[in-house]
Structure 1
Amino acid sequence: MNTLTERRCVLYARLSVTKEESVSIARQLDAGRKYAAARGWSVLGEFVDDGVSATANRPEERKGWSDLLAVSGFDAVVIWKVDRLARRVLDFLHADEALQERGAGLVAVEDPIDMTSPQGRAFAVMLAVFGEMEAEAIRSRVRAARAQILKAGRWPGGGMPYGFVSAQNPDGPGRILVKDPERIPWLTEAVARAIRGEPVNAIARWLTDEKAPMPIRSSIRVADGTRTWNRQTVDGLLRNPVLAGMTPYNPGRGRSGTRVDPLAVIRDERGEPVINESLAILTQEEFAHLQRTLDQRDVPQARKKDERVATSPLLSRVVVCHDCDVHLCRGTNQKKPVLCCPQCRQTMGRTALDPYLVRRLLTERGSQPLLGSTVRAQWHAAGSDEHARREILLSQVESLRVRRGVVGRYFDKDRVLLRWKPKVHA
């Protein structure tokens, strides 16, 4: 390792919610620059994970941290505090191990640690333990407060279920859920169409063609700037237990692919669902029938042959759902090819994903030796044979996973967690 005066470092900053001004990305990086300057260290680069939760995403799954590890020649990584890197002790130790393998250590501006020494490493682990305890205590308080609000029949906030709005509670503090006069007729008709067996894609087209009002605060758009309904959004509103007057444990979660579990609802002392008749547009029996109808048409294999659309086999059983650890299935959404998780229902469009993966394959692995030539040469020789190209892709990929993103966003490459196999030297 270099001496102190010769030390070279990189800066790393992370933030879950960008409105946290007290620990903004800019402030973290500025503090890191001043820390390095005061010690005479040169800064080789700055790496950021903005809007990324440390609880939901391990360091090695974040783009900024992965890019940082791809750099060579640094002796230290400067962060603002230990919890900017990880909120779980095991994640912290794995990140430290990755740095040790590169002959580097972790330094925190606000926490008095310098993991370039054994004593500093031991103290940092203690801080990580306390950080994990603090995070769990916060989660417990939030869960308890939310449970109490739900038990009182009040609305806890979050994404609003379609067809409903919040209103001032007439019987006490807080707000309650009521029907939205503008959207409830559209919801009622969409439910009726689904019960009759109309496909979800057809209902989405009907809502778009009839210019039905979008969900509140919706960001769903197409390329020309106009709003449109998609299968995922419609499927989500048809599966919400609020249709039968029941209250989900976690209503309105704003992550794509997160289907509401019809059984995860508030229940009374006897274990029976608590029903708010003023919200229900279906009985419990009708809601259960609707779920069975949706499940029967959920997978491409359940559709009639003339309804199925052929898609490229390039990514067949290649991509894995990061949350469910199962392979994504091929399918279509509004006649466009997508990958869909059979469990959590997250989707990713292939119109942008496939070209993105091909570009990375040819750019990052094109010169790798393969079958007596190179990956690039074999790829071009395969021509339009998607099965042959799939084998070439598989020969280079160690793991390819997709994690959930925000509903309505365009292609987000940060959702794609791609790891190549070790390079082969000719």
Structure 2
Amino acid sequence: MLYARLSVTKEESVSIARQLQSCRRYAEARGWTVVGEFIDNGVSATANRPEDRAGWAALLAATDFDAVIIWKVDRLARRVLDFLHADEALQERGAGLVAVEDPIDMTSPQGRAFAVMLAVFGEMEAEAIRARVRAARIQLLKDGRWAGGGTPYGYLPTANPTGPGWVLVKDPDRHPWLAEAVSRALNGTTVNAITTWLTTEGAPLPKGSVARRKSGATTWNRQTVNGILRNPVLAGMTPHNPGRAKSGKRVDPFAVFRDENSEPVVNDDLAIISIKEFAVLQKLLDARNTPQSRKRSERKPTSPFLSRVARCNDCDVFLCRGTNQQRPTLYCPSCRQTLSRSAFDPYLIHRLLTERGTEPLGTSTVEAHWIAAGSSDTARREILLTQLHSLRIRRGIVGRYFDANRVLLEWRQPETPAAGAQL
């Protein structure tokens, strides 16, 4: 087996194609037969453990291989524990790990010891890179310059008139819309109502957004407006939370750059409202942060099929039902990870009928009860619960479509009947 990974394509990066080419040559030199090639492109080893990557998970699901060839140790992992866990997973399958550019061979004790040392150095290098990036960002913020990233709505980056780098200024086209949206929110107007107003009036979308047209008007969505109203730049503050992991919990709107006295650093030239008004605005938004707090006419009904069924693997809480751009989703109320139900529900139903359809249930079978339930999601849920032991959803790679590897599913043992099930 061959495995290659690349997080970001840069001029100095070794491409996926070059990594695989080197691995093939190594296998040919040793007289090995390559039975499969797996890649993770655009995936950070620092932010994603090997078992959470689609390519590595697919490799582990394969059979009949004796070794995995990688280009370098850091292509597999940037943390020692991640490397050891990945190697342990291979050992359980009776396979070894070999790196082309690093003089290691996990099939020997000496090679294993040296590989651990290389993993330690890889982790040190990754931490050193993070430290340099954090230091550079802090210095930019101290100098009052823009540190890059997504440009907040209503503002523009421009060349620093007093020195090197860039600074933010108000966007003359979008800033009036931003100021009016903030004013309406402070006066109690809901996010949905502001979204409708921006769409109806044809307010320009954030730069980089794909404009969607509906009846000739630019369409905004609630998530975009909510994010704009939670940006601390509204009070002249700069978001700064370098310790937050990618795809982690919701950003704290008060995680901002602060001075040596822990007071927020405020740029009055960018501020629309005061810090006190910003705090009031966040409380108003939090009060309407759940679907139940919205007007009934604004709610979209969702299927009860998975109500209090699936749990977040990280937070151990039930996933809630919701919608994202009018599509049904499950989301964790703690860490905010989401899972689209458009693909997940059919996947789960297919597994239920394929793997448990012939199991006895009452005087009939699971499949027979399922057919009898028809389109009733409540009845279908009861059938699912009779067979389900555990259903947990783990965090996936940000930006990817449905990934079956996120689903941790365990069926009940046949001899263990579901307590209190009535069908």
Q: For the superposition of Structure 1 and Structure 2, which TM-score range results when normalised by the shorter chain?
A: 0.7 to 0.9
Instruction: Name the structure 1 match of 2:420.
Output: none
Q: Distance in 2 between matches of 1:264 and 1:214?
A: 26
Instruction: Name the structure 1 match of 2:330.
Output: 339
- Residue identity opposite 2:234 in structure 1: L
Q: 1:83 to 1:379 in 2, by over 3 A?
A: farther
How much does 1:396 deviate? 6.3
How much does 1:310 deviate? 2.6
CA displacement, residues 242-277 of structure 1 (integer Å, 9 cap, x when unaligned): 0011111159x9977864322211222332211111
Q: Distance in 2 between matches of 1:190 and 1:285?
A: 17
Instruction: Name the structure 1 match of 2:144.
Output: 153
Identity, % of aligned positions: 67
Q: Distance in 2 between matches of 1:38 and 1:375?
A: 54
Which of 396, 401, 404 does residue 394 from structure 2 map onto?
Answer: 401
Instruction: Name the structure 2 match of 1:239.
Output: 230
Q: Indicate whether 1:421 and 2:410 are aligned.
A: yes
Q: Distance in 2 between matches of 1:129 and 1:174?
A: 35
Q: Indicate whether 1:15 and 2:3 are aligned.
A: no
* Contact 2:195–2:221 (8 Å) recurs in 1: yes
- Residue identity opposite 2:177 in structure 1: W
* Contact 2:204–2:218 (8 Å) recurs in 1: no
Q: Distance in 1 between matches of 2:340 and 2:240?
A: 29
Q: TM-score, normalised by structure 1?
A: 0.85
Instruction: Name the structure 2 match of 1:4.
Output: none
CA displacement, residues 86-116 of structure 1 (integer Å, 9 cap, x when unaligned): 1111111111111111100111111111112
Q: 1:246 to 1:177 in 2, by over 3 A?
A: same
Q: How does 1:46-195 map to 2 (within 5 A)?
A: 46-195=37-186
Q: 1:13 to 1:388 in 2, by over 3 A?
A: farther
Q: Helix, strand or coil for the counterpart of 2:271?
A: coil
* Contact 2:48–2:397 (8 Å) recurs in 1: no
Q: Helix, strand or coil for the counterpart of 2:158?
A: strand
Q: Helix, strand or coil for the counterpart of 2:321?
A: strand
5+ long unaligned stretches in structure 2: 416-423
Q: CA RMSD in A?
A: 3.2
How much does 1:143 deviate? 0.7
Q: Distance in 2 between matches of 1:391 and 1:56?
A: 38
How much does 1:385 deviate? 3.2
How much does 1:207 deviate? 2.6
Q: Helix, strand or coil for the counterpart of 1:339?
A: strand
* Contact 2:313–2:394 (8 Å) recurs in 1: yes
Q: Helix, strand or coil for the counterpart of 1:421?
A: strand
Q: How does 1:232-311 map to 2 (within 5 A)?
A: 232-250=223-241, 259-305=250-296, 307-311=298-302
5+ long unaligned stretches in structure 1: 1-9
* Contact 1:319–1:401 (8 Å) recurs in 2: no
Instruction: Name the structure 1 match of 2:421.
Output: none
- Residue identity opposite 1:400 in structure 2: I
Q: Distance in 1 between matches of 2:211 and 2:367?
A: 37
Q: 1:229 to 1:349 in 2, by over 3 A?
A: farther
* Contact 1:243–1:280 (8 Å) recurs in 2: yes
- Residue identity opposite 1:113 in structure 2: I
Q: Distance in 1 between matches of 2:383 and 2:115?
A: 44
* Contact 2:146–2:157 (8 Å) recurs in 1: yes
* Contact 1:255–1:404 (8 Å) recurs in 2: no
Q: Indicate whether 1:34 and 2:21 are aligned.
A: no
Of the structure 1 ranges 52-61 and 286-295, higher mean CA displacement relative to structure 2 is found in 52-61
* Contact 2:315–2:335 (8 Å) recurs in 1: yes
How much does 1:60 deviate? 1.2
* Contact 1:368–1:423 (8 Å) recurs in 2: no
Q: 1:160 to 1:69 in 2, by over 3 A?
A: same
Q: Helix, strand or coil for the counterpart of 1:138?
A: helix
Q: Distance in 2 between matches of 1:114 and 1:228?
A: 56
Q: 1:376 to 1:27 in 2, by over 3 A?
A: farther
